Structure 1
Amino acid sequence: MSLPSLSAIAPLSYALILAAYLLGSLSGSLLLGRLRGVDIRQQGSGNAGGTNAFRTQGWRFALGVVAIDIGKGALATWLALRYAPVGTGLSVTAHGYLAAMAAVIGHVWPLWHGFRGGKGAATAVGGLLVLWPFCLPLLLAVWLLVLVITGYVGLATVVTAICLPLLAWMVEAGAQRQWFALAAALLIVFTHRGNLQRLRAGTESRFARARLLHRLRGRS
């Protein structure tokens, strides 16, 4: 797939991608945290994501965080598809994938919050919800399986992210979908590098309640 020249891309395309980044920069945990008078980047793991929100603020707060982070990824993607200019250097679908990626980048490095955000997984799910919803049940099954076996949320997210480009390759998805899947997977693995380092060191926090197989063995 040949890349379009910058001069062939309409100004509206740049505006949509920029808007997606700015929308992605609205961090659910930090917005809700302000209402509660807390900054979860100063608590727990220091990450502004759903897992740290759950561990430090409870499941209701975390549910709101995840809803916002998924919603902004879906909204940014939908807006790009809805208002993408036709007949320019970028297809309508390409606008959607670029906007989804821009929203994920905005979540990880948010302009409004000092470029210290979350790890991007929930926002990527929001983009996939619009662009490739049929892959989500399989990815969710992988995530739950790894979580139940190991109890590590970060590891489950990394394994699921790696499965995304593999799935796109296996089903012979189009080039735009494959590039997005690869880019999103690489970014999510990068943002979870601290989790992987702690796993190797044996210091990663485990979500013990999710280790169903371990709990069943303990009762037998």
Structure 2
Amino acid sequence: MQLELISHALCPFVHRACIMLREKGVEYTRRDVDLENKPEWFLALSPRGKVPVLVADGAPLFESAAIVEFLDETHPPPVIPTEPFTRARQRAWVEVASDLLMAQYRVYIAATQADFEAAAKAATAALARYDEALNKGDLASDEFKLVEVATAPAMYRFALLEARTGWAFWPAGSKVEAWARRLASRPSVTSSVAEDFPDRFMKFLTEKGSYMATVRPS
């Protein structure tokens, strides 16, 4: 199967698809698009005008969740559980991961202290849901399945933000911190972004006028 991933270098939803491709050891090519100036050929492939799009043997597939499940079903062994209830819970946590990514995005585009504090509170609350689930055993601390594929891009970015800006959003010593750091350092996660990703990411924050890119935590 010939696979081409239509992507954007900083998109966390593209990162999801790349992580699954790396986990599966699948060969693929990658083509980035300018989302500020979307070409017509891309809009013809992506009904929502968003990345990622996976072109499999010439046929396009859009939406990261659909792409991840397609890759899992076509490239064994499976990452997604087959038992219906367990699989459904994993899919439900994918939606929580999407909420986390959006909360995270609001954190790093917040331009004022007030906006940043409100966004940071929401992101911290989202992370607390993961901490609660890990403490209750609803999420496993040592697995890498659909939930982890979906959530790893957010945790990678939280770890990067802490390293580059000093801002941390998880309670120190918590289960979610340990879980997040394990996901953020997994080879399929770190190798799914370009080597210069940290610098490009910080440049993006600066260009957006991000509060956290210019103010260090007290």
Name the TM tier (shorter chain): 0.3 to 0.5
Please, what TM-score do these two structures have when normalized by structure 1? 0.34
Higher relative contact order (CA 8 A, sep 6+): 2
**Structure with greater strand percent:** 2
Please, what TM-score do these two structures have when normalized by structure 2? 0.34
**Structure with greater helix percent:** 1
